[in-house]
């Protein structure tokens, strides 16, 4: 049984259809790179998965159990955690408070110490407000904050947005450590090839539909490009 | 010079009270994003509970009366949040919860008139009302000093709770990013109820302190709400620390202007508020 199953997911923003019948699954410990142009529906899918918006049709199952629509607490308890696009850290909280705020949703190995071991640079910044950190360090806090909830599935939206190549490499190294802990990942990144390099499978969206899913190792850039512009491979 | 110092001291003590008047509204706006138009009525209800309890049981100490009024008002605030405001917050339009609190204000005001009458009431605090303290050459009333002391303790306590407790962290997170806070597993509706109860408790505290100094009528809520708005806007939307500072500024303004023009009432307070708004608008720092 897959860890995550989406069947016939539709979502709307008022009159506009953002997702139109998305079917997708993810196995335990699997990593999926999700690609697509701006407005293809990637962020909507991420928001929907973690309960920030309800589907207009369809259902999301985690370990076979249907998630109540639009309930972020239930999604967190089921093991879904989001590293949102733009980090969206709590500015009034210190780095450590940001990391602690989501702790306790589930039991697991991601204690404060484990997060500091993954991102040692944050240990010295623990009392600082996140706004005083560099973009890369802020992304580390965002990843750490999501890990503190001990997720089974980590959703990373635009993971390298605004980061330098050096910092992006660091962030991806951290994601590999997360993979080694058996956590499933869905990674959205404008740099598709980088996300593909750490993934087991790739998927591509166009105008709210999945236009491609396939093994990361054998999906060619040509097939990705065709799916990116809406031509099914 | 001594007279000026006395006036400043009086202004600061009054300002502490104004800060308490605004604190609950600041909290409600900062965390719930709701402009609570029933805040003034919660202040008057707090005052009337204290007056009523003192009339029924004159031997009950003032401090116990104050705690009881705050607790009852906090329960009322939490109940109103669960029954009406939280439901109204599900609408995207912020006008909906604001209008709901307007409706609540009208109902509470009329319920108060029906049950307690429209007369002005004050809280008898015995000798404390006339007592004074001598600090060197400066003489100041004991009651205003006690009021300021309570305000300082309340603001320090509030700051400690917001800074050091799990509830405080949740409040700050919700105030920053409500949607992401929900993702972190925070029980948003439960925090909302606690905040509404805390704000109503602070309103009751302000009401009791006001009733110790002056007379209160069921219709006083609107004028308190105006003060509360000025405190919240000057102090920064949602900032309780700013509310205290703004309260002190307005209190000092009122006392100094009363010395200058004894018939001015709150005129100069409103003028100072308006001037600061204009100044902020000119420098592009309205929000």
Q: Considering only CB atoms, which chain B residues are within 8 Å of A92?
A: 172-173, 175-176
B287 inside domain: no
Is the pLDDT at B241 greater than 90, yes or no? no
Contacts with A, B 7-26, CB within 8 Å? none
B200 inside domain: yes
Q: Considering only CB atoms, which chain B residues are within 8 Å of A75?
A: 183
| CB-CB under 8 Å, B176 with A92 | yes
Contacts with B, A 140-159, CB within 8 Å? 145, 149
Token pair, residue A145, equals 């904050």
B194 inside domain: yes
Question: DSSP labels for A146-183?
Answer: HHTT--SEEEESSTTTT--HHHHHHHHHHHHHHHHTT-
B174 inside domain: yes
Which 3 state secondary structure label does DSSP give B118? Answer: coil
Between B83-97, B135-149, B164-178, the lowest mean confidence (pLDDT) is in B135-149
Asked if B208 reaches chain A (Cβ–Cβ under 8 Å), the answer is: no
Q: What pLDDT does A232 receive?
A: 57
Asked if B179 reaches chain A (Cβ–Cβ under 8 Å), the answer is: yes
What's the maximum distance between 2 C-alpha atoms anywhere in chain A?
A: 50
pLDDT band at A233 (very low <50, low <70, confident <90, very high): very low
Asked if B170 reaches chain A (Cβ–Cβ under 8 Å), the answer is: yes
Token pair, residue B175, equals 């105030």
B131 inside domain: yes
B28 inside domain: yes
Which residue in chain B is spatially nearest to A87 when comparing CA positions? Answer: B180
Distance between B271 CA and the closest CA of chain A, angstroms? 32
Distance between A100 CA and the closest CA of chain B, angstroms? 9
Give the contacts of A98 (CB within 8 A, at least 6 positions apart). A89, A90, A130, A141, A144, A145
pLDDT band at A184 (very low <50, low <70, confident <90, very high): very high
Domain span including residue B151: 2-282
Q: What pLDDT does B287 receive?
A: 56
Asked if A74 reaches chain B (Cβ–Cβ under 8 Å), the answer is: no
Is the pLDDT at A86 greater than 50, yes or no? yes
B166 inside domain: yes
Asked if A72 reaches chain B (Cβ–Cβ under 8 Å), the answer is: yes
- Give percent of chain A with pLDDT exceeding 70: 99
- Give percent of chain B with pLDDT exceeding 90: 72
| CB-CB under 8 Å, B184 with A76 | yes
B41 inside domain: yes
Asked if B203 reaches chain A (Cβ–Cβ under 8 Å), the answer is: no
Interatomic CA distance for residues A188 and B23, integer angstroms: 43
Q: Considering only CB atoms, which chain A residues are within 8 Å of B182?
A: 51-52, 72-73
- Give percent of chain A with pLDDT exceeding 90: 88
Distance between A68 CA and the closest CA of chain B, angstroms? 14
Asked if B257 reaches chain A (Cβ–Cβ under 8 Å), the answer is: no
- In this predicted model, what pLDDT tens digit does every residue of B13-36 receive, in sequence order? 999 999 999 999 999 998 999 999
Asked if A73 reaches chain B (Cβ–Cβ under 8 Å), the answer is: yes
- In this predicted model, what pLDDT tens digit does every residue of B116-128 receive, in sequence order? 988 999 998 888 8
Structural domains present in chain A: 29-52+70-228 (3.40.50.300)
C-alpha distances out from residue B282 to B137, B249, B274, Å: 43, 21, 12
Q: Considering only CB atoms, which chain A residues are within 8 Å of B183?
A: 50-52, 72, 75-76, 81-82, 102
Phi, psi of B21 (to 5 degrees): -60, -40
CB pairs below 8 Å between A and B: how many?
A: 57
- Mean pLDDT of the A33-42 span: 94
Exposed e or buried b per residue across B143-158, where buried means at least 16 C-beta atoms within 10 angstroms of its C-beta: bbbbbbebbeebbeeb
- ipTM for the predicted complex comes to 0.88
Which CATH number does the domain housing residue B39 bear? 1.10.3470
Domains contained in chain B, number: 1
Is the pLDDT at B1 greater than 80, yes or no? no
Interatomic CA distance for residues B75 and A38, integer angstroms: 48
Token pair, residue A223, equals 């097939």
- Mean pLDDT of the B259-267 span: 85
């Amino acid at each position: 049984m897959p860890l995550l199953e989406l069947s016939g997911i539709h979502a709307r923003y008022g009159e506009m259809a953002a997702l139109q019948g998305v079917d997708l699954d993810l196995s335990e410990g699997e990593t999926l790179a999700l690609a697509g142009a701006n407005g293809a529906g990637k962020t909507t899918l991420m928001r929907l998965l973690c309960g920030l918006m309800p589907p207009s049709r369809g259902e999301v199952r985690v370990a076979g159990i249907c998630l109540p629509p639009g309930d972020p607490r239930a999604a967190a308890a089921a093991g879904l955690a989001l590293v949102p696009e733009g980090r969206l850290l709590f500015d009034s909280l210190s780095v450590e408070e940001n990391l602690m705020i989501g702790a306790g949703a589930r039991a697991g190995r991601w204690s404060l110490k484990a997060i500091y071991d993954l991102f040692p640079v944050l240990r010295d910044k623990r009392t600082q407000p996140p706004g005083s950190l560099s973009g890369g360090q802020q992304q580390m806090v965002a990843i750490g904050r999501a890990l503190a909830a001990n997720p089974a599935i980590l959703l990373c939206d635009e993971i390298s947005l605004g980061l330098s190549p050096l910092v992006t490499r660091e962030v991806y190294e951290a994601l590999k450590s997360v993979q080694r802990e058996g956590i499933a990942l869905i990674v959205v990144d404008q740099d598709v090839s980088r996300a593909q390099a750490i993934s087991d499978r790739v998927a591509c969206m166009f105008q709210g539909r999945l236009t491609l899913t396939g093994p990361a190792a054998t999906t060619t850039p040509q097939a990705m490009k065709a799916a990116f512009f809406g031509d099914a491979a | 010079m001594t007279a000026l110092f006395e006036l400043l001291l009086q202004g600061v003590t009054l300002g502490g009270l104004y800060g308490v008047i605004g604190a609950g509204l600041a909290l409600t706006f900062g965390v719930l994003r709701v402009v609570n138009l029933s805040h003034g009525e919660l202040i008057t209800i707090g005052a009337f509970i204290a007056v009523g309890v003192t009339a029924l049981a004159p031997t009950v100490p003032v401090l116990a009366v104050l705690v009881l009024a705050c607790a009852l008002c906090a329960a009322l605030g939490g109940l109103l949040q669960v029954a009406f405001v939280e439901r109204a917050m599900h609408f995207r339009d912020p006008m909906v919860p604001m209008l709901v609190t307007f409706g609540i204000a009208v109902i509470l005001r009329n319920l108060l008139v029906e049950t307690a009458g429209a007369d002005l009431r004050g809280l008898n605090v015995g000798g404390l009302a006339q007592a004074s303290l001598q600090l060197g050459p400066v003489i100041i009333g004991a009651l205003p000093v006690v009021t300021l002391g309570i305000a300082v303790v309340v603001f320090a306590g509030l700051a400690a709770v917001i800074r050091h407790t799990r509830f405080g962290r949740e409040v700050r997170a919700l105030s920053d990013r409500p949607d992401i806070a929900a993702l972190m597993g925070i029980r948003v509706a439960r925090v909302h109820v606690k905040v509404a109860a805390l704000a109503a408790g602070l309103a009751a505290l302000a009401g009791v302190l006001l009733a110790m100094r002056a007379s209160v009528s069921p219709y006083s809520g609107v004028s308190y709400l105006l003060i509360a708005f000025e405190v919240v806007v000057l102090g920064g939307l949602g900032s309780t620390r700013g509310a205290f500072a703004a309260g002190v500024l307005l209190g000092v303004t009122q006392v100094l202007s009363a010395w200058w023009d004894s018939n001015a009432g709150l005129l100069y307070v409103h003028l100072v508020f308006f001037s600061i708004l204009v100044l902020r608008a000119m420098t592009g720092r309205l929000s």
